[in-house]
């Protein structure tokens, strides 16, 4: 059975390569997924039986293009969905995002049924809505063409192939701490440190995805993260501990905190998989 993975050089794609070397991995150098004809040609050539769609245009924290955050992702997703369907790919996993969840939910923790409830705002809204549209189109293809396309919803992903210049939370803090260790200085973190976050280790997702391809025969999206939740302050101290940082950790409360809480909980995967504790995962990534 031939499995095609888009976004093969990303965090999760790189982790998947280590465990499933016989799968076919493509990245932006292999195929421009924003180009419809190139994407259709890729699927026609490969003729995959299954698909794991990880590719996305992810807006960097320091340079957010609100237009492309939506438009480029919609273009990629539409091309991949069409190409998969035309090539008769019946089973596919699509990577969604915790950003899809509403800013002001009715309750916490949020579950899979809440991804379309309420509005999303802020600089990542375009990205969030592109993921909502992806979930909608998966269900449209399932209904109209009798496919089995479904999404996984990871929280903040971290891993061994992370880009320290991405501006995302763990890479950004890691970069700060490593520079402070090198310069023997303190670390100052923007905000109060009180916002709560959940994280999932890319290696865990790489183990979960093949299991779901083989055993999950529904089409409802699935949250992929454990129940561990830490504040940004706790995360900073954990990274400092792993890196043996001994100087002061301060918080600049004149800077905004951003979203204070976006707690999610999924039952299906949580009941079948033991997620890597954050401190253990950080040790594997940072040391």
Alpha-helix residue ranges (DSSP H) falling in 87-231: 125-145, 169-183, 202-215
For the question of residue 62 being annotated catalytic, the response is no
Write down the catalytic residue from 25, 57, 127, 149.
127
- Angle formed at CA 241 by CA 237 and CA 242, multiple of 5 degrees: 120
For 248, other C-beta atoms within 10 Å of its C-beta total 11
Q: How far is CA 172 from each of CA 15, 165, 168, 176, 264, rounded to the nearest angstrom?
A: 21, 7, 6, 6, 23
Tokens 């950003």, residue? Answer: 99
Q: How far is CA 156 from each of CA 4, 125, 184, 196, 220, rounded to the nearest angstrom?
A: 24, 16, 29, 12, 21
> What is the distance between the alpha carbons of residues 45 and 39, in angstroms, rounded to a whole number?
10
Nearest Cα to Cα of residue 88 among 30, 134, 145: 145
Which helix (DSSP H) or strand (DSSP E) does residue 69 occupy?
helix 66-86
What are the backbone dihedrals phi and psi of residue 122, each rounded to the nearest 5 degrees, phi first?
A: 90, 180
> What is the distance between the alpha carbons of residues 153 and 151, in angstroms, rounded to a whole number?
6
Catalytic residues: 127
């Amino acid at each position: 059975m031939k499995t095609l993975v888009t976004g093969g050089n990303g965090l999760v794609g790189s982790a998947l390569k280590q465990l499933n070397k016989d799968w076919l991995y493509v990245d932006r150098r292999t195929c421009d997924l924003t180009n419809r004809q190139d994407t259709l040609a890729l699927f026609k050539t490969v003729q995959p039986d299954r698909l794991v769609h990880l590719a996305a245009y992810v807006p960097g924290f320091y340079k957010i293009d609100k237009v492309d955050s939506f438009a480029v992702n919609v273009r990629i997703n539409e091309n991949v969905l069409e190409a998969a369907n035309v090539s008769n790919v019946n089973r596919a996993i699509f990577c969604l995002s915790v950003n899809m969840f509403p800013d002001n939910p009715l309750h916490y923790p949020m579950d899979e049924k809440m991804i379309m409830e309420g509005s999303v705002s802020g600089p990542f809204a375009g990205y969030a809505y592109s993921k909502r549209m992806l979930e909608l189109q998966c269900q449209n293809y399932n209904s109209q063409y009798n496919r089995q396309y479904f999404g996984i919803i990871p929280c903040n992903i971290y891993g061994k192939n992370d880009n320290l210049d991405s501006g995302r939370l763990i890479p950004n803090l890691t970069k700060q701490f490593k520079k402070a260790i090198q310069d023997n200085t303190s670390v100052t973190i923007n905000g109060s440190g009180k916002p709560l976050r959940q994280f999932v280790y890319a290696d865990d997702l790489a183990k979960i995805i093949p299991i779901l391809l083989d055993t999950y025969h529904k089409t409802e999206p699935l949250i992929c993260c454990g129940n561990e939740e830490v504040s940004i302050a706790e995360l900073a101290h954990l990274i400092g501990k792993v890196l043996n940082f001994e100087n002061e950790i301060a918080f600049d409360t004149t800077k905004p905190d951003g979203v204070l809480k976006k707690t999610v909980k999924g039952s299906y995967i949580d009941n079948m998989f033991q997620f890597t504790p954050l401190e253990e995962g950080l040790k594997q990534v940072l040391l």
